[in-house]
Structure 1
């Protein structure tokens, strides 16, 4: 059985962590595979948006700790492991297309790391969110801490990281860890992304790039690249199509070019 399953539904890709027997614990190989999957989506015009989900009852309990005795048993191996984890979240965040984490059950540690890298987090009432790094003597990675801080604010970020506690869906939403709660998080995510997928891909890519850069702190946003994205959108066929559709009072048909 593939540890990660990819399905296409129209122009929305579903990426499913597929190890339900171990609550979708993420192996080192999976971190690396996820990086490649999301990097490939960047060049696929047929994919306009992505749902990231877990098979079965849980999103993910996080990293597969059963591997740690062999792949993370000293400082060098731990550093290499963190490089792979950061590359994965970086690939998700860098994808210039909207990504929604659809969360059920446990979303802990590395699972939360994945969810934080997404643009939105939709959950159902079974969701439980937490980062137990303080209970394992692990320091969460810098980029994930930055994303956590941007979403929750300083006081809640401290609470999450210092305590290692788990938060039920409604409390997690009040803290900024979850955006919306639905009976069916996957269905809600798909319907939401269908609406976004009808909008101009270049506009979304540019907005995502700037928002991510600004939210990650001083110096994270490359102003030159941001201006290049703005200029490319201004010169695009989609911009002409948007103007024509507005004048003709019809929905635009964007192609991402």
Structure 2
């Protein structure tokens, strides 16, 4: 889709929301396409990390409310819409690759939903984060509320959801919505992603699966799958390469095998 751009360079994939004229508002079609994009990138062995960003001066103002009258006008449509939105955030969270959100300008509502699903959120001084669902009589989805709670804690999560307010970068960082502040957030996100991309893919897959599962509450983490991931890493060629590189005092060359 023209509304979403994908660029790749040296193992890093950059996914960019590309509707700057409407502050990168996300349509229903884009939610579905983002889900497919992240699922494909998760299976791409040449991709070792992903940066999610917005074209222009904004990450995303959120869902494209202008189409709600046609596609989210009642509870049945709303439920169907949330299925697509949750599938998108789940595809981001389930990817075995580290995902870094590079946030400038507005990161509101659905945009925040996307950022919450990422592993890390880097922001610049222009970043403004909020969830205005209370101003639209929308109840934010369960999985996004779980992620928000895990990052911000109960008091901040209530403040964010009850008020619908927008928070400037420094306050958003103090509330757990931004991990790091940078003047050039795109460059910082890419440099950090490259650091992570040098590490063992199987280690990251296993750690991400377990941490996400544990943070999302009882019943989310399948212990059998977690053990399979641990066992796969223990039997991997990468584990042997890691030991060799440590002994030889050199940078390991991991292949995800």
TM-score by length of 1: 0.99
Give runs of aligned pairs for residues 53-132 of structure 1, distance below 5 A.
Answer: 53-132=53-132
TM-score by length of 2: 0.99
Name 1:184's counterpart in structure 2.
184
Give runs of aligned pairs for residues 147-226 of structure 1, distance below 5 A.
Answer: 147-226=147-226
Give runs of aligned pairs for residues 25-64 of structure 1, distance below 5 A.
Answer: 25-64=25-64
**How much does 1:219 deviate?**
1.5
**How much does 1:182 deviate?**
0.3
Write out per-residue CA displacement over residues 39-77 of structure 1, whole angstroms, 9 at most, x where no aligned residue.
001110110000000000100000000000100111111
Q: Does 1:14 align with 2:14?
A: yes
Write out per-residue CA displacement over residues 148-196 of structure 1, whole angstroms, 9 at most, x where no aligned residue.
0000000000000000000000000000000001001110000001110
- Give, in whole Å, the separation in 1 of the partners of 2:14 and 2:193: 11
Report SS of the residue matched to 1:13: strand
Q: Does 1:252 align with 2:252?
A: yes
Name 2:146's counterpart in structure 1.
146
Structure 2 residue runs without a partner (length 5+): none
RMSD of the alignment, in Å? 0.7
Report SS of the residue matched to 1:153: helix
- Give, in whole Å, the separation in 1 of the partners of 2:243 and 2:68: 55
Write out per-residue CA displacement over residues 178-228 of structure 1, whole angstroms, 9 at most, x where no aligned residue.
000100111000000111000000000100000000000112111000000
- Give, in whole Å, the separation in 2 of the partners of 1:51 and 1:36: 16
Report SS of the residue matched to 1:80: helix
- Give, in whole Å, the separation in 2 of the partners of 1:40 and 1:24: 22
**How much does 1:115 deviate?**
0.1
Name 1:237's counterpart in structure 2.
237
Write out per-residue CA displacement over residues 119-169 of structure 1, whole angstroms, 9 at most, x where no aligned residue.
000000000000000000000000000000000000000000000000000
- Give, in whole Å, the separation in 1 of the partners of 2:120 and 2:101: 6
Report SS of the residue matched to 2:14: strand
